[in-house]
Structure 1
Amino acid sequence: MATLGFLRSNPVEYSLEEIPLVTTGLKLVSVVETIGLALTVSGGVSAGNATPQSSLDSATTQRHDGVVLFALMYVGAVGLTVLCWQRRARILRHRRQLLKGVAATLPFIGFRVLYGLLGGFAPSPDDRGRQAGPVGA
């Protein structure tokens, strides 16, 4: 989320805002980000309060959808950074430093998104116990 904010406020502002692909991309990725955050939070809260299995399944689905949207948001952020990088000659010199910083953080954010995907789709401890069968059998 911060990466998109940095891209929006510095490299794009006054330099690339006349390029429709960049401005539309920023808006679209921001919407995906907001929906993903809402689904993830809603799924986590619902899972904590769920008693029937159907409520738990619904919460898990919301969490999965939110994590997938975060992955899409990351792909969009990488794409927008590449677009800005390709047009860096149009960006003011002091604002290019922030673009370099954003580009340097993307691999770390990518690992965090991958960790979220793996954790989001990992079976819960209850599911693992049911799949493995009874203990000692």
Structure 2
Amino acid sequence: MAKQESLSNGECPVARTLEAIGERWCLMIIREAFDDVRRFGEFQKNLGLARNILAARLKKLVETGIFTVSPASDGSAYKEYVLTEKGRSVFPIVIAMRQWGEQYLFGKGEMHSVLLDNEHNQAILPLEVRSACGDKLRPEQCHRQRIIKQ
């Protein structure tokens, strides 16, 4: 089997994002962190992931700047994986995936979780793509343009 080419140097932001966080275990680890999981053992228990795979994914996420490693907040000898601002900014991506899955991947009568806001205890609204003027946009109403980041 041919080795896949890295997408990390391409012009496409979607490709670079997939290279950084698109592997399924990376996204599941990030999802767990949004539920305040911080320790290696908690990630492993919740995800049922082999130690070597979890260690490799956490190492990658630290190198990518999604997590930092800190001493345990309770003063124990453990380390904690804490989301950085870059990591917390993945939240809308996870929500978009969750909402798409809720809409299209569950049949009638199937049990699934819903995300509620803490203040009102109500389901969050569906994410929408909007123009600079606030209009809701569909894919055919957008186009790509190449720019150089300043």
Report which structure shows greater RCO (CA 8 Å, sep ≥6). Answer: 1
Is the radius of gyration larger for structure 1 or structure 2?
1
Flag the structure with higher helix content: 1
- Whether TM-score is above 0.5 comes out as no
TM-score (norm 1): 0.29
